[in-house]
């Protein structure tokens, strides 16, 4: 069966974004993170294929009840791998993941089989990694007090890997020192920590911070937080040096053309509710010209 159909059956089990994130500013309990690496120069072609999937998914949602509709947020890098697309599929729980998978399977092999079989073959991928992760409210910071996802245009994503046996010490120090520094700095920063349960090495965590604008990165920077650590700064550095084996930071822009959201989700973006439901016009047939870059020998 065509690869994009396999993605729907094997991966898509998310409820509509409105049900998985019904409280403004709050993240879902479980998220499926799908990272697709696309062949260089094939991003426009991939977007055309992905748009066809969005059309079919919207039709499927119209046939499903509110509790069975699927949704995803699509993101492309601002700083990171330029050939990557990231999808976030929200779930109420892992049990909900299984339930929605069965609902999608029933449509794709029954009433909408012809629609899914007609989707183009997705042969533009170099690789794909799927991770299932669960929200850790106890490790997150200021949940529900930051940017509501429908109003965001960017997302900061940190991948953090902690050395086994050091997790308790790291998170205890992070809450005691780093969170206290953010409290002193002010600025309304908020982020959600998810612990990866499958699809990556153990002790891997994902930290998501929605951003209304890249200008948000001008405040609450790591350097600014360090200035508020005072005498605890050396202790924090020692804990990080001992505990952290990987800390990767990427910034993404949301792509509403490749996203599928519920009307209730889009309506929460009061400034621009139409942003999340753009017309699905074909993508350009050739890559956009990029600014010339200086090559260093």
Residue 291 lies in a domain: no
Residue 22 lies in a domain: yes
Does residue 290 belong to any structural domain of this protein?
Answer: no
pLDDT value of position 160: 97
Average confidence (pLDDT) over 242-269: 93
Range of weakest confidence among 193-207, 246-260, 276-290: 276-290
Model confidence band, residue 288 (pLDDT cutoffs 50, 70, 90): very low
Residue 259 placed within a domain: yes
Split at pLDDT 50, 70, 90, the class of 282 is: low
Q: For residues 131 and 33, is the Cβ–Cβ distance under 8 A?
A: yes
Question: What CA–CA distance (Å, rounded) separates 138 from 175?
Answer: 9
pLDDT score at 273: 78
pLDDT tier at 286 (50, 70, 90 boundaries)? Answer: very low
Asked if residue 124 lies in contact with residue 46, where contact means CB atoms within 8 angstroms, the answer is: yes
pLDDT at 204 over 60: yes
Residues 4-18 have a mean pLDDT of 36
Q: What does pTM read for this prediction?
A: 0.84
Domain for residue 285, yes or no?
Answer: no
Give the closest residue to 127 by CA, choosing from 231, 19, 232, 38: 38
The CATH number covering residue 271 comes to 3.30.70.100
pLDDT digits (tens, 9 = 90+) for 26-77: 899 999 999 999 999 998 888 888 888 888 888 888 888 888 877 899 999 9
pLDDT at 2: 38
Of the two residues 107 and 273, the one the predictor is more confident about is: 107
What is the number of structural domains in the chain?
1
pLDDT the model gives residue 268: 92
What is the extent of the structural domain holding 80? 3-275
To 5 degrees, how large is the angle CA 29–CA 34–CA 39?
165
- Span of 138-142, 278-282, 284-288 with lowest mean pLDDT: 284-288
Q: What is the pLDDT of residue 116?
A: 87
| Residue with more model confidence, 276 or 14 | 276
Contacts by 99-103, CB closer than 8 A, 24 or more apart:
99/13, 99/68, 100/12, 100/13, 100/14, 100/15, 100/68, 100/70, 101/9, 101/10, 101/12, 101/13, 103/64, 103/68
Hey, which of 48-57, 98-107, 232-241 has the most confident mean pLDDT? 232-241
Grouping H, G, I as helix, E, B as strand and the rest as coil, residue 297 is coil
Asked, for residue 167, whether it belongs to a domain, the answer is: yes
- Token pair of 254 as six digits: 């949301």
Average pLDDT of the residues in 214-230? 84
Burial of 143 (0-12, 13-18, 19+ CB in 10 A): middle
> Which pLDDT value is given to residue 212?
93
Is residue 281 in a domain? no
- Which tens digits make up the pLDDT trace of 121-178? 768 888 889 999 999 999 999 998 888 999 999 999 999 999 999 999 999 999 999 9
Q: How many CA atoms lie within 13 A of 205 on its CB side?
A: 24
Give the DSSP H or E segment for 274: none
Q: Is the CB of residue 86 less than 8 Å from the CB of residue 74?
A: yes
Query: Is residue 144 situated within a structural domain?
Result: yes
DSSP at 223:
H
Would you tell me the crossing angle of helices 43-63 and 94-108 to the nearest 10 degrees? 90
Which of 94-108, 129-143, 283-297 shows the lowest per-residue confidence on average (mean pLDDT)?
Answer: 283-297
User: Are 155 and 33 contacting, i.e. CB atoms less than 8 angstroms apart?
Assistant: no
Rg over CA atoms, the chain: 20
Packed helices 43-63 and 3-11: angle between N→C axes, nearest 10 degrees: 50
Q: Please, what is the average pLDDT of the chain? A: 83
Is residue 6's pLDDT more than 80? no
């Amino acid at each position: 069966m065509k690869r994009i159909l396999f993605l729907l059956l094997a991966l898509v089990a998310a409820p509509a974004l409105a049900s998985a994130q019904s409280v403004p500013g709050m993240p879902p309990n479980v998220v499926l993170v799908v990272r697709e690496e696309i062949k260089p120069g094939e991003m426009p072609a991939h977007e055309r294929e992905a748009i066809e999937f969005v059309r079919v998914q919207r039709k499927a949602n119209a046939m499903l009840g509110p509790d069975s509709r699927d949704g995803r947020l699509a993101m492309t890098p601002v700083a990171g791998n330029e050939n990557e697309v990231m999808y976030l599929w929200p779930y109420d729980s892992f049990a909900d993941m299984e339930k929605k998978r069965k609902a999608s399977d029933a449509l794709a092999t029954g009433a909408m089989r012809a629609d899914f079989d007609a989707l183009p073959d997705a042969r533009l991928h170099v690789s794909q990694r799927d991770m299932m992760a669960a929200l850790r409210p106890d490790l997150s910071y200021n949940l529900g007090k930051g940017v509501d996802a429908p109003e965001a245009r960017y997302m900061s994503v940190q991948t953090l890997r902690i050395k086994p046996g050091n997790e308790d010490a790291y998170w205890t120090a992070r809450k005691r020192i780093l969170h206290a520094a953010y409290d002193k700095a002010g600025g309304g920063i908020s982020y959600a920590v998810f612990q990866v349960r499958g699809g990556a090495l153990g002790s891997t965590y994902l930290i998501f911070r929605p951003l209304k604008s890249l200008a948000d990165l001008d405040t609450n920077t790591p350097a600014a937080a360090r200035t508020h650590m005072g005498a605890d700064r050396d202790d924090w550095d020692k804990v990080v040096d001992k505990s952290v084996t990987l800390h990767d930071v990427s910034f993404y822009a949301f792509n509403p053309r490749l996203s599928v959201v519920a009307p209730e989700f889009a309506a929460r973006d009061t400034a621009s509710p139409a942003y999340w439901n753009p017309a699905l016009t074909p993508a350009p047939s050739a890559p956009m010209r990029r600014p010339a870059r200086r090559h260093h020998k």
